[in-house]
Amino acid sequence: MSKDSNNTFSNKRQKIIRKTIEAADGLSLGISMVVAILIGIGVGYLLKKFTPYPWLFWLGVFWGVAAAILNVYKAYKSQVKSYGEFQQRDEFIKEKIRQKEQDNGK
């Protein structure tokens, strides 16, 4: 195999791996939301069962939904941070290109 075909294969493989990781990340967010709500429902059910206050079930449901919303917020903040890192990297690359162009122009 030539070096060029190895590089093409490597790029395709990196794209596939990147897409797989992004899909798993999105899936984990969905799973964490469902699990948070189910845990909240479970806690609410247990509170209702072992106390004389049936409204505690809804408190558990609220806790679960609030935890799911918190998971979405954390994922959002993580994506914003990741976007900022990519933006900094791109600005760094543009600066390096400008420096090379200036050095070549001299």
The domain ranges of the chain are 3-105
Residue type for position 22: E
Q: Kindly state the average pLDDT of the residues 75-92.
A: 79
Distance CA 23, CA 31 (A): 12
- 91 has a pLDDT exceeding 70: yes
For 22-35, write each residue's pLDDT tens digit.
777 777 888 999 99
- 49 has a pLDDT exceeding 90: yes
What pLDDT score does 102 carry?
82
Mean pLDDT for all residues in the chain: 84
Distance CA 44, CA 70 (A): 18
Entry pTM: 0.63
What pLDDT score does 70 carry?
96
Question: Phi first, then psi: what are they for 60, rounded to 5°?
Answer: -65, -40
Distance CA 51, CA 62 (A): 18
- Please report which confidence band the pLDDT of residue 88 belongs to, taking 50, 70 and 90 as the band edges: confident
